[in-house]
Structure 1
Amino acid sequence: MAVPARVRRTARRSRRFELRATALYFALLAVILALVGAAARTAAAAVVHRPAWAIALALMAVGAVMVGCRGKRRISAARIARRAAVALDEATQTAVEALDAAPAPAVGLVPAGAGTCGGLLATDPTVLLPETVPEAPADTVEIAYEALDPDEFEQAVAELCRRDGCLDVDVVGGAGDLGADVVARTPDGRSLVIQCKRYCDGNRVGSQDLQRFGGTCFTVHGADVAVVVTTSDFTAPALDYAEQCGIVCVDGPQLQGWQEGTGPRPWEAQPSVA
């Protein structure tokens, strides 16, 4: 009697297990893709700030691939995911540390009230500020003119003329100067002739000095403004003669006021009165 052969049934896996494995696979794949995207963005930022770190990370990745290829054991998807997660975490930490170590861009400090135009801070290069010319500070340093020698005193007076806007200033004092030590042209165009007398306090400029200067300053030098400057003072007859001839006398205190800017300039003053 023949025995019917039994038909072997192929074992089937549980449908529930297949769905779970598929869901786990796609979940791991999504995590890996998210990590890869985050790493790509972080790596891009690291490349901008620290190119050396990007090269180091690339070498580490190549080394990891080579080590993985040498291994003969079968690598599962879960193991790959774990290693990738660890590597990506280390790379992220390295990139964050590199970004933290990057120097912050320098920010220029603008003083309060400076660099503004119409109430707007002038940081835009297209904003044009009105051109301003700073005022020259007044020279308030006291100069001991009486301590200078005659040549230095003439140079100092000439420098005062240049400072206050005179043109064509020249020191011509010396032998044969005919009473003119400094010649110049005032800011308004008049001819200026100055005689310099560096005297001590006890030695005053007398009328004879004024007469010698008065005989040449107008007729020989063609002065529009004739000035006698001294570190001392003038005698009363000298001041009388200066008033009659129209010569401006500048004594020691007046010279100091001219230098400090508190007194009139010689070409702006009137001839002295006794």
Structure 2
Amino acid sequence: MAIISEVKDEGAKPSASSSPEPKPTSFVASFNPSNVVGFLEKVFDFIAKESDFLGKESVDKEIALIARVATDKYYKKKAEEMEKKKKKEEEITKKAEKEPTEAGGKDKQTNPNLRVPNKGNGLDLENYSWTQTIQEATVIVPVPPGTRSKSVECQMKKSHLKVGLRGQPPIIDGELFQAIKPDDCYWSMEDNDSISIVLSKQSQLEWWKSLVKGEPEIDTQKVEPESSRISDLDPETRLTVEKLMFDQRQKALGLPASDEIQKQAMLKQFMAMNPTMDLSNAKMM
């Protein structure tokens, strides 16, 4: 349920010649996340009925500004969540490295050393290799030449992968680093000597450190996404990835991040649209 009402400016002083201020009017409507546009239509219908706001010459610019601010807040929240998760992982790793585990009080690293990713941003292991993009992971499992598809056993569940040949111990059998979308995953035989498996990631906003939990992990800070791969992403994911990459470069150079740059630009634009308002000390949160 959404309720929107006008807010009375406590700092405003009524004048004798001004007309009486309109009474706040409540707006009540149910919000269905699957029909956001329908909700917005109701909001604008209500505004049109109760005020002359939509008749202003600058209404398009003001609405666009509101939308840009809201969008910026959305992506800022996404970036903060990822940064928070990254910092938490770094803290856990540092704590594990400093924790004394030997009788002499010497520090011993409990986590395996992170490995440098292969050219596909994955890792080449003894029994299989894997690569990844921000959207999916691809696994290549070598098998004896002449192997047919009917001899292959491949089970792709939301959080588990099992691959092998019938009558033999599985080559891969473990919990995936993160969840996948089984309905969008598939496997095939390549040249009758390897099994190719494509796993569609459920979360397409971060890199996997390993294919299966417990296997050697890669250093995701050394992942190098190709420009061509970024261009293949859907608009929302691509915008998030490019924003994170830009902010990372800005941070390394000691420069303002994208959200700060955009906020300053929007503040200047709003001041130009409302020259009579004193926003010299305004800060955008």
Relative to its length, the structure with more strand (as a share) is 2
TM-score scaled by structure 2?
0.17
Structure showing greater radius of gyration is 1
Greater share of helix: 1
- If asked which structure has higher relative contact order (CA below 8 Å, sep 6+), I would say 2
